[in-house]
């Protein structure tokens, strides 16, 4: 596939926040995952133009960049919702009811609250099980009712 070199918007200015990490890895292919991690942190998600920009900067085929990014669970290709709620589904949370918690939340219409529901495989603070991670903050020993109540109190 030919690289879209003739695209009017090269992305270079749009994504200049990525320059330091690209430089740190000498624009070499082995820095790809580090670059993707930083790109997602900076821009929230990995859009196609962003992936194309990274491909050009690392001199890699677009397919190689997208193929690698899509392999890893934590990379996302759609813009995130305002809030995220991740239900931990590790072993300790599982034996303390995480599956039911996830099912209950799934049926609770989280989209209307601007909350994206997902799951995470163990964040390693199992003494708080079952737990959820909301916008990076851990809520311990939760029930679905308690989670929903607190989610409704979040800034819309």
Partner 1 sequence: MSACLRLCTAASCRSRGATALLEHCRKALASDQTQLRVKEVGCLGPCSDGPLLAIDPADRLLSLQEVNGSDLETSLAEALQRGNAATGLKQWQPSGSRELSSDEPFLNLQRRLVLGRCGVVDPESLADALAAGAWQQLPRVLEQNDPAAVIELVRRSGLRGRGGAGYPTGLKWATVAAMPGSQKVVVCNADEGDPGAFMDRTLMEGDPHTLLEGMAIAAFAVGAQQGFIYVRAEYPLAIERLRTAISAAEQQGWLGRGIGGSGFSFEIELRVGAGAYVCGEETALIHSIEGQRGVPRPRPPYPAEHGVFGLPTLINNVETFGNIPALLELGVEAYGTGTKVFSLTGHVQRSGVLEVPMGTSLRTIVETMGGGAPQGRQIKAVQTGGPSGGCVPASALDSPVDYDSLKALGTIMGSGGMVVLDDTTNMVDIAAFFIAFSREESCGKCIPCRSGTVQLEMLLRKLLERRGQATDLEQLEALCHTVADASLCGLGQSAPKPVLSTLRHFRGDYLALLPAAGVQR
Pairwise CA distance, residues 84 & 89, whole Å: 15
67 contributes a contact to partner 1 by CB under 8 A: yes
3-state secondary structure of 30: helix
In the complex, the smallest distance separating the C-beta of residue 114 from partner 1, rounded to whole angstroms, is: 23
Radius of gyration of the chain (CA): 19
The span of 1-9, 13-21, 71-79, 105-113 binding partner 1 (CB under 8 A) equals 71-79
Cβ distance to partner 1 smaller for residue 7 or 100 = 100
Residue 83 has a CB neighbour count (10 Å cut-off) of: 17
36 contributes a contact to partner 1 by CB under 8 A: yes
97: left (phi over 0), alpha (psi -120 to 50) or beta: left
Question: In the set 1, 8, 26, 30, which binds partner 1 (CB under 8 A)?
Answer: 30
In the complex, the smallest distance separating the C-beta of residue 144 from partner 1, rounded to whole angstroms, is: 19
Question: In the set 3, 42, 79, 95, which binds partner 1 (CB under 8 A)?
Answer: 95
- Which alpha helices (H) appear in 16-116, and where do they start and end? 19-24, 32-43, 48-58, 62-69, 91-95, 98-106
The span of 13-21, 77-85, 106-114, 131-139 binding partner 1 (CB under 8 A) equals 131-139
The span of 11-19, 107-115, 117-125, 145-153 binding partner 1 (CB under 8 A) equals 117-125
Backbone angles phi, psi at 59, to 5 degrees: 55, 50
């Amino acid at each position: 596939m030919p690289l879209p070199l003739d695209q009017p918007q090269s992305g270079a200015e749009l994504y200049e926040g990525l320059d330091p990490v690209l430089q740190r890895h000498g624009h070499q292919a082995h820095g790809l995952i580090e670059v993707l991690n930083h790109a997602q942190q900076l821009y929230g998600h990995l859009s196609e133009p962003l992936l194309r920009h990274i491909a050009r900067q690392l001199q890699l085929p677009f397919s190689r960049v997208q193929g690698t990014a899509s392999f890893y669970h934590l990379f996302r290709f759609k813009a995130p919702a305002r809030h995220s709620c991740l239900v931990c589904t590790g072993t300790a949370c599982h034996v303390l009811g995480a599956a039911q918690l996830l099912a209950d939340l799934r049926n609770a219409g989280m989209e209307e609250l601007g909350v994206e529901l997902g799951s995470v495989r163990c964040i390693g603070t199992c003494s708080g099980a079952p737990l959820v991670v909301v916008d990076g903050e851990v809520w311990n020993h939760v029930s679905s009712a308690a989670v929903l109540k607190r989610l409704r109190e979040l800034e819309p």
